[in-house]
Structures are given as C-alpha cells and as structure tokens.
Structure 1
Amino acid sequence: MAARAGAHVVASVGRPERGAGLRELGAAEVLSGSAVPDEPVFGVLDNVGGAVLAEAFARLEDGGLALSIGMAARADTVIDFEQMRMRGGIRRLEPFTVSGPFGPDTGYLVDLLNGGALDPQIGWHGSWDRVHEAVDMLFSRRVHGKAVLTIG
C-alpha cells in the first residue's frame, strides 16, 4: 500500500527466502538478516519488536514515526534515548492501534482485491476447527503470509 501511494519501501526480513516476492509487491529494497538501510527512513512498521524495533527507531530521520504493530521476537525493546537526544530532531514511537469506523477504507481495499490490484498473501487456509493448527503454524513462523479460517 505504501509503494502504491508513492513511498520508497524498504522491506526487512530475517532470512533471504522470506523476502521472495516482496519486490513484486512494491518493495524498492529488500534487506535480510542484520542489514540496515544506508539512509535514514521516515516511517517504520515493525512486527518484530525487541532489538529490531530499537534499531529501526534509531534509523528514523527527523520527524519520523515508528509504529510497533507486533512482538514476534517476544523480547523487550531497549532504546537508548540519550543517543537519540544527541542526534537531535524529533522522532516518535507509537503502538499501532485499531479503531473504527472502517467503512470507506474497507470498501477501498475490497475494490483493490476484486480488481486484482492487491494480493492478500494468504499462506494457509483451513476450517475454524483447525484454529489451533493455524495458531501453531503462525507462531512457529511456518506460514508465509496470512492464515485464513473458514467458518461453517
């Protein structure tokens, strides 16, 4: 979505194979492992937390924002704010929260899906009866993309 809006997107993945297909989805750069962007970034969407979030926050340019969406690392995030003060500028770190109404945004996304302009990246699909299997696969990082449960 960011690339569609004109942003220069840098994707970061733990292993190179997890980056497959990200350029086709709009990433201008795909970094793996401990690689970091050469230049400061304006925004960060972080699903990992821990040291990854701390490093991403440190890479923000003046006026930048990091959104903490998840905590896949299940590790505390330790940020050296003194280092940030010495760099100067203003950077923000916020938790990602969801609130409604969603009507217009949901309609826009459905239109993109129906038109084939948005790939939902479904990596696993199964019955609601298999919810425990889906959760296990997501937590063990064996699903690339989203898990979708069918009810009924």
Structure 2
Amino acid sequence: SIDAVTAAALPLAGITALRLLRAAGPVAGRRVLLTGASGGVGHYVTELAASSGAAVTAVSATRERGARLLELGAEAVVTSPEEAEGPFDVVLESVGGDSLPAALARLAPGGLLVWFGQASRTPVTLDFFDFFGGPAQARVAHFDYTRADTTYAAELATLVRLVAGGRLHPEIGSVRDWSRTGDAIADIRARRVRGNAVLTVG
C-alpha cells in the first residue's frame, strides 16, 4: 500500500525508533529531549513521540536541518543540549562525546537518559561526581535495538500501517542507484543527508 522507496526507508530507522520509545516508557505529557534529531531515527522518533503527546525538543546541528522536525511535531529545535530549556523527563541521546553529559545535565529529578548511539564517534567522558550531584534519582540506560520482545515483521507492519494511514511521514533525504552506495555512505557519515538514504536496484 506504499511505494517501494518509502518502504525501503522504514526498516532499520523506523524499528529503532519504535523500540527506543518503548524503552523510554510512556511519553504522553512528558518533556523529551532528543539529540541527533535530524538523522533517520530522529525524524521517526520526533513524529511518533509528538503524536503520542510528548513535548519534544530536538537537537540538530543547524536550525535549517531541524526545520522539518517542527513540521513533524517538535515543540522546539535547538543546536546543542546546552541551549535546550530543561528540565526533561526523558533524554534520548545518540551523539556521544560532549553531548551526553550536557544532555544528562538537563534531566529532571527521577528522569531517564537512554543512550542509543555515538554519531560523533567521540568517546564520552562522564564525571560521576557531577552525575551524583545532579538530578536526584536520575537513571542512564543503554539501548540495543536488537533486544526486543517483538519481531521485525510485526514492527514493520506497524510502520506500514502508520504510513499508509497518513500518521507517519518518512523523511527521505537521498535516493540513489545501488552503484553509488559509497557516495551515500560518505554523505551519511558527513551528516549531509537529512533523514534516510535509500538505494535503488535495477
């Protein structure tokens, strides 16, 4: 019921977004901070969380890259965790490096940070004295999208149903022939693709 290019954008990023939000728990009425939001997973998380009643603040490298996130339901787009007006009940962190401790500092007491990526490819240094002196009873959880109690097939069916019903809008920033896989990977790594990249065959 949806075209092949749109369907091809669903599997990894869409499933990761569904499972990430399940790991975060109910988000209706909660304030959510999402880093690395202009990537493939970020667009799905933003729309799914906002449609579930969350107030989402999206962190994007530039406001231009994050403009689409406002259309998908984000309450605000900022260019760094430090710029975000906290505190937040849930932080979904995908950048690593300096981003994680900065995002952690924005947690509300009893809040949860779910660490699901390392897009900066920069090691994280976390000062546990700062952590224990920060929000009371804050929690940090590591996320692995392969660990779930549902199957890929069931979640793909959910994603297709949402797209077909006009309730989910995959952001496809690049469509290229399979022969240009190397170029696509280089652009993704350099963060030149907003949303998902799709490769076509034949």
- The answer to whether TM tops 0.5 is yes
One-letter amino acid of the structure 2 residue matched with residue 16 of structure 1: R
Contact 2:67 2:77 survives alignment (8 Å): no
1:22 aligned to 50, 56, 69, which one? 69
Partner residue in 1 for 2:140: 93
How far apart in 2 are the matches of 1:150 and 1:94?
A: 36
How far apart in 2 are the matches of 1:104 and 1:83?
A: 41
Contact 1:16 1:33 survives alignment (8 Å): no
Superposed CA RMSD in Å reads 1.8
How far apart in 1 are the matches of 2:83 and 2:127?
A: 18
How far apart in 1 are the matches of 2:143 and 2:49?
A: 16
Matches within 5 A, 1:39-50: 39-50=86-97
Question: What is the CA distance between 1:33 and its match in structure 2?
Answer: 4.1
Closer/same/farther in 2, CA of residues 131 and 80 from structure 1, 3 Å limit = same
Residue 149 in 1 paired to residue 199 in 2?
Answer: yes
One-letter amino acid of the structure 1 residue matched with residue 194 of structure 2: H
Contact 1:13 1:19 survives alignment (8 Å): yes
Question: Structure 1, residues 97-127: CA drift from partner, whole Å, max 9, x if none?
Answer: 1234234332221111112221110101122
In terms of mean alpha carbon deviation, does 46-55 or 98-107 score higher? 98-107
Q: Secondary structure at the match of 1:141?
A: coil
2:57 aligned to 1, 5, 10, which one? 10
Question: What is the CA distance between 1:34 and its match in structure 2?
Answer: 5.9
Q: Which one has the largest radius of gyration? A: 1
Matches within 5 A, 1:85-124: 85-87=132-134, 89-98=136-145, 99=147, 100-124=150-174
Q: Secondary structure at the match of 2:154?
A: helix
Asked which structure has the greater RCO (Cα within 8 Å, sep 6+), the reply is 2
Question: What is the CA distance between 1:144 and its match in structure 2?
Answer: 1.0
Contact 2:173 2:193 survives alignment (8 Å): yes
Question: What is the CA distance between 1:40 and its match in structure 2?
Answer: 0.9
Percent pairwise identity: 38
What stretches of structure 1 of length at least 5 have no aligned partner?
none
One-letter amino acid of the structure 2 residue matched with residue 126 of structure 1: R
2:104 aligned to 57, 66, 77, which one? 57
Contact 1:15 1:33 survives alignment (8 Å): no
Question: What is the CA distance between 1:131 and its match in structure 2?
Answer: 1.3
How far apart in 1 are the matches of 2:82 and 2:134?
A: 21
Partner residue in 2 for 1:132: 182
Question: What is the CA distance between 1:94 and its match in structure 2?
Answer: 2.4
Q: TM-score under structure 1 normalisation?
A: 0.89
Contact 2:82 2:102 survives alignment (8 Å): no
Q: Secondary structure at the match of 2:92?
A: strand
Q: Which runs of 4+ in 1 moved over 6 A?
A: none
Q: TM-score under structure 2 normalisation?
A: 0.68
